[in-house]
Structure 1
Amino acid sequence: MAEPPMPYLRVSNLTKHFSAGRGGFFSGKRGVVRAVEDVSFSVARGETLAIVGESGCGKTTLGRLILRLIEADHGRIEIAGTDIRTLDDTAMRKLRRRLQIVIQDPFGSLNPRMLIGQAIMEPLDIHAVGTNAERRARLAELLDLVGLPQDFANRFPHQLSGGQRQRVGIARALALETDLLVCDEAVSALDVSVQAQIINLLQKLKRERGLTYLFISHDIAIVRHIADRIGVMYLGELVEIAPRARLFSTPAHPYTQALLKSAPRARVHERPEIVLKGDIPSPIDPPTGCRFHTRCPHVMEICRSTPPARTQLAPGHAARCHLLDPALAAKGQTA
């Protein structure tokens, strides 16, 4: 979809399908989970792109594909112009210093038997960075960077609160020469007041270190406070992408409009109330045509048979919906 100039990260036609059982364990039938389908976007250096959508829409899979924690079936993942899907293990290991992830459960990401100081220095040990004295100095710097006291290095994960453990996760992610940080529901397990603290910390680190973020969340109200641009996913597809202010003021896709209506304090004027009916269809057997047509209040006959093309609405703003197709509008088919 819409691309900023000089992208640091460029994703093109990224697709991932998983094999899955269908009809029960003993049925012998196999299905295909279409987790990510033909997703394209780019992110400028120092920018925060948020990816939002309901649970099961493919957000987490997308983040892990970009880091090559799982392998894509099709598409390109370019970091600073290099398609990382073509890199061998040695080159990818070197690149991983620059690509890191912060996950939802900070406790689950930490070894309960490992001291906090050991956990933060582990990436330095794995990549053989610096002497022991230099690693200890780096540990002190990282603890200070994320706002933790130095004596926390001698504590175990269970002795920290959820917010403190997430700060440890961020410190460990920044231990190396990190450029791109994937935040996968990084604040969703925290109390509201702690969420604000972690978001403020992430914004501070972005300003000071020039980090690029892919911020994955199911909560569009949260991303309003951190994102420069927002991409909306539904059932594996990217259905809309726009600058933050424009997405909140002029949402184009009916699904985006429904997400905004469901968010606390999300004020989008001159738009009727939209109530989604039914559950998200199974990614094993997604609907034909537009995948959203089974829940869309504006569904037309074409929506049931033909996938919508991308429509460019303004600089940086694009969406996939037949309601936005100028050719259909000219024929009066969107009324």
Structure 2
Amino acid sequence: MAEDGFVRVDGLTRHFALGAGGLLGGRPQIVRAVDDVSFSIRRGETLAVVGESGCGKTTVGRLVLRLIEADAGRIEIGGTDIRALDDAALRRFRRRIQIVIQDPFGSLNPRMTIGAIILEPLEVHREGNAASRRARLAALLEMVGLPAEFAARFPHELSGGQRQRVGIARALALETDLLVCDEAVSALDVSVQAQIVNLLQRIKREQGLTYLFISHDMAIVRHMADRIAVMYLGQIVETGPKRAIFDAPAHPYTRALLASVPRSEPGTRPAPAVLGDIPSPIDPPPGCRFHTRCPHAGDICRTVRPAPVALAAAHTASCHLLDPATAAQLRSPS
């Protein structure tokens, strides 16, 4: 992890129990949603966490915010170990860490006006008086590009993009340092996606925010991210600067993700890899978890988990094919 990380996550783990094996009994089933995940984010940077649905990226975002509790690992934000905070201290700290979720309608109380929704964080944290809150509301509406008269409307009177702007305004109502964007544009029309991406980029520059941007859409990530962490079945398999990931992807899974991105120019997209179905996180494969879908897998991949291999500045990938100590075993004839 980077030594100057504003956000530092080390060994983050969360498993979910599914009960005692269903109606027929048996051993309890465990979903290994997040397994020993580590990363860092510099202040003012956007780290995108990408991967297929079910890979654990949303769980990582909620663990970082302590919306759910981790089984193990350390989460440090701005020098504060947030897993060590008691309830009162965590409540005070929450003014600095906020989230924008995928469903802009489900995140808003339909019985509250837009103004009341945006001002609710100020009231919960007893911030300011009535006059200062009204001024803050006006500033927030202007910041996200909504007319002042929208304060009197209700969520059902707004479009999807307008509702997401309300969600962003609410997330920024307090002294936000870290904003987790969990598929924040995936439920929107393509043209609206571009508007919200541009809005998030502008607010980041103006407010000096740090983003953890969770997405499965590599085209959106290309516009938003400074660095990228690729997740597969609860583990990070590759991290690096955006340019390194897009121009020189190292892990076979990363290459498959990029090959699946639609291109507007005919003949410019690599042939998509045929990977087959993703294994269950209840019973992930031993060794390298990608080996059941990897065209390069060998015996060592089926038994030994690969360690991260440094490829270039801040670019690492966990693949036996990249490790000189094990690559020869995979390249040699069987």
Is the TM value for this pair above 0.5?
Answer: yes
In the alignment, which residue of structure 2 is the partner of 1:190? 188
1:255-274 paired onto structure 2 within 5 Å: 255-265=253-263, 273-274=271-272
Q: CA separation in 2, counterparts of 1:308 and 1:323?
A: 9
1:148-297 paired onto structure 2 within 5 Å: 148-265=146-263, 273-297=271-295
Q: CA separation in 2, counterparts of 1:76 and 1:164?
A: 36
Name stretches of at least 5 consecutive residues in structure 2 with no aligned partner: none
State the number of aligned residues: 331
In the alignment, which residue of structure 2 is the partner of 1:48? 46
The CA deviation at 1:334 is: 3.1
1:136 aligns to 2:134 (yes or no)? yes
Q: CA separation in 2, counterparts of 1:36 and 1:276?
A: 25
The CA deviation at 1:276 is: 3.0
For the residue of structure 2 that corresponds to 1:135, the secondary structure is helix
For the residue of structure 1 that corresponds to 2:311, the secondary structure is strand
Q: Pick one of 319, 322, 333 that aligns with 2:330.
A: 333
Name the TM-score, length of structure 2 as normaliser.
Answer: 0.96
1:98-137 paired onto structure 2 within 5 Å: 98-137=96-135
Q: CA separation in 1, counterparts of 2:218 and 2:290?
A: 18
Give, as a single letter, the amino acid of the residue that structure 1 aligns with 2:312.
A
Give, as a single letter, the amino acid of the residue that structure 1 aligns with 2:330.
Q
Q: CA separation in 1, counterparts of 2:296 and 2:262?
A: 24
The CA deviation at 1:221 is: 1.3
Give, as a single letter, the amino acid of the residue that structure 2 aligns with 1:262.
S
In the alignment, which residue of structure 2 is the partner of 1:75? 73
The CA deviation at 1:272 is: 6.2
In the alignment, which residue of structure 1 is the partner of 2:298? 300
In the alignment, which residue of structure 2 is the partner of 1:57? 55
1:18 aligns to 2:16 (yes or no)? yes
Q: CA separation in 2, counterparts of 1:290 and 1:332?
A: 15
Per-residue CA deviations over 1:261-305 (Å, capped at 9, x if unaligned) read 0012399x9996351332111111000111000001111111111
The CA deviation at 1:27 is: 3.2
Q: CA separation in 2, counterparts of 1:266 and 1:236?
A: 32
1:32 aligns to 2:34 (yes or no)? no
Name the TM-score, length of structure 1 as normaliser.
Answer: 0.95
Per-residue CA deviations over 1:59-90 (Å, capped at 9, x if unaligned) read 11000000000000000000112211011111
Name stretches of at least 5 consecutive residues in structure 1 with no aligned partner: none
Give the share of equivalent positions with the same residue, in percent: 69
- Contact 2:55–2:231 (Cα < 8 Å) also in 1: yes
- Contact 1:112–1:156 (Cα < 8 Å) also in 2: yes
RMSD (CA atoms):
1.7
Q: CA separation in 2, counterparts of 1:321 and 1:274?
A: 20
For the residue of structure 2 that corresponds to 1:129, the secondary structure is coil
Cα distance change, pair 266–89 in 1 and its aligned pair in 2 (3 A): farther
- Contact 1:180–1:214 (Cα < 8 Å) also in 2: yes
Q: CA separation in 1, counterparts of 2:236 and 2:301?
A: 16
Give, as a single letter, the amino acid of the residue that structure 2 aligns with 1:296.
C
For the residue of structure 2 that corresponds to 1:333, the secondary structure is helix
- Contact 1:5–1:44 (Cα < 8 Å) also in 2: no
Q: Pick one of 8, 15, 34 that aligns with 2:6.
A: 8
Cα distance change, pair 36–285 in 1 and its aligned pair in 2 (3 A): same
Q: CA separation in 1, counterparts of 2:270 and 2:139?
A: 51
Q: CA separation in 1, counterparts of 2:188 and 2:138?
A: 25
- Contact 2:263–2:269 (Cα < 8 Å) also in 1: no
